[in-house]
Amino acid sequence: MSKNNVASSTIIEDRIFTIRDQQVMIDRDLAELYAVETKVLNQAVRRNIDKFPEDFRFQLTTEEKKELVTNCDRFESLKHSSTNPYAFTEHGVLMLANVLKSNIATQVSIRLVKAFVQLRKMLSSNARIQLEIEQIKNYISHQSKKQENQDKNIDLLFQYVDRLQEKLETPAPTERKRIGYEVGRKK
């Protein structure tokens, strides 16, 4: 990326990953956006390490690096690297502009913060949609259980109707003429 070209929000959003349940950017991508080498970016961070607590920046584990390389082709060269890349949270990205102290760093940082805010809004919206979906699922499940009970009641009602119908179809025994003598009766 040229120094005169400020990163578009689409490019930035494509470079934000979720690692350890946090939205982060990898040092290599940030270096490209800030138009510096990754080594220079990490040296600037090391010189100002007190400005980057663990919740601003952390080093990926080997497993996280493998997953990153697997999911994103542009990190293929990290596959054989002996060092694991660093991930910067939204706060770490903002702090980088203060450490790098250049016009492009300031412009890029503003874009990065806006991209993180937009991503947070999208995630919030998705969470709200997920909640609504869960509520709908619960309602449908409840209605389904009610339907099952109604179906059972209807089945029971049909069983009673069938029994009544059988009784109606079976002829009632008629009174037969008695055979023999009846005592006390006159003819």
Residues 58-116 have pLDDT tens digits of 999 999 999 989 888 888 888 888 889 999 988 888 888 788 877 777 677 777 777 77
Domain annotation covers residue 145: no
Edge to edge, the sheet with strand 57-59 lists 16-19, 22-26, 86-89, 57-59
186: which residues sit within 8 A by CB, 6+ positions away?
A: none
Min mean pLDDT across 9-13, 29-33, 40-44, 147-151 is at: 9-13
Q: Could you tell me if residue 134 is inside a domain?
A: no
**Mean pLDDT over the full length of the chain:** 80
140 is a domain residue: no
pLDDT recorded at residue 185 = 62
Classify residue 21: in a domain, yes or no: yes
**Residue 171 pLDDT grade (very low, low, confident, very high; cuts 50, 70, 90):** low
118 in a structural domain: yes
82 located within any domain: yes
Please tell me the total count of domains within the chain: 1
Residue 33 included in any domain? yes
Say if residue 1's pLDDT is above 50: no
In a domain, 71, yes or no: yes
Domain coverage including residue 43: 9-125
Sign of torsion, CA 3 86 110 21?
Answer: positive
